[in-house]
Amino acid sequence: MAEEQSRGDMRSFARLVEIMAQLRGEEGCPWDREQTHASLRQHLLEESYEVIETIDEGRYDDLAGELGDLLLQVVFHAQMATEAGRFDIGDVVQQINEKLIRRHPHIFGDTVINNAAEQTVAWEQSKLRKEGKRSAIGGVPRELPALIRAYRIQGKAAAVGFDWREAGPVWDKVREELAELEEAAASAESGRISDELGDLLFSIVNLSRFLHINPEDALRGTIDKFTRRFQEVEEDFRSRGRTLDGATLEEMDLVWEEVKERERRGKA
C-alpha cells in the first residue's frame, strides 16, 4: 500500500512538472512565459506567508492547497532554470536529499546526538566544516523580517559558543540597554536614539532565546490581540452611535479595559 501511494505521489509530482513546462512552452500561457526569477520573487514571498497564516489560524484543511501553491513556485523557478540550462527539478531534489543526509549524521551515520539543542549546534558546525561557510552567522537572508533575522543570527553565533551560559546576564543586558535608550531619548539626538532602540530590541530578541520563545511569533500574536481588542472598542462606540475620533482617551481606555476583562472571563 505504501509503495503504491509513493508511486502515485511521484506520478502527481511528475505531472506538475509537465504542466509547468507546458505553461512555459511556445503554445503556453502568455503570463507564465513572461515571468522571470525576479518577477516571481514577490509571489514566492506571498505564498510562504499564506502557508504561515493557514498554520497560525489552524486551518489545516486548507494547508494542502496552500502548500501546493508554494510548491508551484519551486517548480516554476526550476522550469525557468531548466530552460536556461542551469539546473532542473531533479537537481533541486538531489541537492536537498544530500544536504539532509549530510546534516543528520546521527540518523544516516554513527554520530551520537542526544537532543534538539545538540542537533542545532551540530547543524551549524557542519555548515562551517563541510560546506565551506566563511562565517558562522552567514546564510541568514537580509530580506527576513528584522526580528527573525536577529533571532537566527544570534542562534548561529550561539552554536559556536558566542553566548551567555544562563539567562541572568541577558536580563541585565536588557536593563542596561533600556537605561541607555532613556538617556539617548533625553538627548533628543535621533541617530543616537535609533541606535539605542535597535540595541534594546536586539537584546530582547536575545532574551527570547533564553525563554524559548520565538520573538516573531510573540510579536505577531500581540499584534493580532491588539487588533482584535481595538476593533471591539470601535464596535462598542459604533453601537452607541459614536466614533473614536469624538471620544477622549479616558473613554477609550475604559472600554479597552472592559474588552480585556471580557476576554479574561471568557478564558476562565
Tens digit of each residue's pLDDT (9 = 90 or more) over 13-58: 999 999 999 999 999 999 999 999 999 999 999 999 999 999 989 9
For residue 120, the model assigns a pLDDT of 73
Q: For 224, phi and psi rounded to 5 degrees? A: -60, -40
For residue 1, the model assigns a pLDDT of 62
| C-alpha cell read off for 165 | 551560559
List the end-to-end C-alpha distance of the chain, in Å, as a whole number: 47
For residue 173, the model assigns a pLDDT of 97
Overall pTM > 0.85: no
| C-alpha cell read off for 39 | 518577477
Q: Give tens-digit pLDDT for 75-106.
A: 999 999 999 999 999 999 999 999 888 888 88
For residue 128, the model assigns a pLDDT of 65
For residue 131, the model assigns a pLDDT of 61
> Whole-angstrom Cα distance, residue 225 to residue 237?
19
What number of other Cβ atoms are within 10 A of residue 158's Cβ?
19
For residue 187, the model assigns a pLDDT of 92
> Whole-angstrom Cα distance, residue 89 to residue 162?
38
Whether residue 181 has pLDDT greater than 70: yes
State the sign of the Cα–Cα–Cα–Cα dihedral 201, 206, 209, 210: negative
Q: Give tens-digit pLDDT for 223-262.
A: 999 999 999 999 999 999 999 998 999 999 999 999 999 9
Whether residue 137 has pLDDT greater than 90: no
